[in-house]
Structure 1
Amino acid sequence: MSDSPTLWCGSTLVVFDGPRRLIWRAAAADQWSLAGLWPSARQAAQVTDHLDSGGAVLVLVEQEQTTVPMYAEEAARVPEALAAEVVVDGELAEIRVPALDWLPEPLRERGRQFLRDTACFISKQPDLLLPHLLVEEPGRAPCNLRFARLRTPRPFNNDRLRSATEHLFASAEEALAVLEAAS
């Protein structure tokens, strides 16, 4: 039902933080149920061991907290360890997946700071001018850990193009206004 929360690219471990951390199991031929949340304590220790031994880890994160919709009947079968993350509203429900809660605190805070910094950057740029992947600058310790913010592709439309052109030519329009005012 979902892709793995991790991927090996050579010797680099890529972690997809967000909805891919939800582990689903087939309950019947056409029915899935939530079995847990990646990582287990053992899996988290393996990531930490990989980092401590000098292995590279790239964490792809979308936002500080992701919510995944589900039906209330699915939510009723959520493992007890995840029940506190479920909110039910009538026939529908959602489960919260907090970002980076599996990392040791100093690394978790570093990742959350990256999210805050990129949120500020994103808020100041027209959508069409933003890259699909924002990557943490190198140099933070440990240097074999990097955070990246994965942005889902946005459809191209006239409003996004208008915003981009206004941004690109804002200084030219200001200069033209100054020249016109001076003459």
Structure 2
Amino acid sequence: MTHSATLHLHGVLVVFERVPLLSWDYTAPVHWTPSGQWPSPRQRRELQEHLDQGAPLLVVVGEPAGPSASAAPLDWLPQALRARGLGFLQATGVRILETPAALRPPLLLDDVAGGQVRFGRWTGTDAGAAASLGAVVRTLFGAAAMGAYVASAGFLETDIDPFCWSVARPETD
């Protein structure tokens, strides 16, 4: 089993930035071993292919998680997207600092409606918010856009379970 900084959800690639950006292999009960830096050259190619196909991408930013957190946030994105993402991080950082925790939503979202690439940022107020990520993806990208991508990728509607997702994809990571 491999832990990944990515999740494929309803045809949308979700990337969790600023989680430890190391890949980990589960080698024994309660034993994880670092297996590499994320993204690897292969993963960078896959990310670029995903973007080149026009497929939706959601980048969810959390707080740095120790020394393996990326020293250069979003450095894996093409320059224009990275600049937009860094602007979003700066704006939301200020908002988080200025807003009492009890008044913050669990996830702040950019205001670029209808874009292929969207940014979100966990505010640290609700650890259970990840359970509703499917609803967030459907709201941001719309069922029609996701359905078109899923159909073009060769999935059947019955292959998509809107209530089930996993952060581990051992067959591809």
Answer yes or no: is the 8 Å Cα contact 1:17–1:61 preserved in 2: yes
What is the distance in 1 between the residues matched to 2:58 and 2:45? 16
**Does 2:119 correspond to 1:147?**
yes
The 5-angstrom pairing of residues 107-146 of structure 1 reads 107-139=81-113, 143-146=115-118
What is the distance in 2 between the residues matched to 1:131 and 1:44? 31
SS class of match (1:19): coil
Q: CA deviation at 1:31?
A: 4.3
SS class of match (1:148): strand
Report the AA paired with residue 95 of structure 1.
S
Report the AA paired with residue 105 of structure 1.
Q
| Greater fraction strand | 1
Aligned to 2:35: 35
Aligned to 2:9: 9
Q: CA deviation at 1:53?
A: 1.5
Report the AA paired with residue 105 of structure 2.
P
Report the AA paired with residue 112 of structure 2.
P
What is the distance in 2 between the residues matched to 1:117 and 1:127? 16
Larger CA deviation: 27-36 vs 110-119: 27-36
Report the AA paired with residue 124 of structure 2.
T
Aligned to 2:70: 97
Q: CA deviation at 1:29?
A: 6.3
**Does 2:77 correspond to 1:106?**
no
Q: String of CA shifts for 1:61-106, please: whole Å, max 9, x gaps.
A: 124xx242xxxxxxxxxxxxxxxxxxxxxxxxx4342321211222
What is the distance in 2 between the residues matched to 1:149 and 1:30? 29
Cα 1:3–1:31 change in 2 (3 A) is closer
Aligned to 2:171: none
The structure with the largest alpha-carbon Rg is: 1
Structure 2 portions without partners, runs of 5+: 128-173
TM superposition score normalised by structure 1: 0.59
Q: CA deviation at 1:40?
A: 1.2
Equivalent pairs counted in the alignment come to 126
What is the distance in 2 between the residues matched to 1:2 and 1:126? 36
Q: Higher RCO, 1 or 2 (CA under 8 Å, sep at least 6)?
A: 2
Answer yes or no: is the 8 Å Cα contact 2:2–2:25 preserved in 1: no
Q: String of CA shifts for 1:21-79, please: whole Å, max 9, x gaps.
A: 3212356666433221211122122112212221100000124xx242xxxxxxxxxxx
What is the distance in 2 between the residues matched to 1:109 and 1:26? 35
Report the AA paired with residue 137 of structure 1.
D
Q: String of CA shifts for 1:6-26, please: whole Å, max 9, x gaps.
A: 111111111111225321235
Aligned to 1:170: none
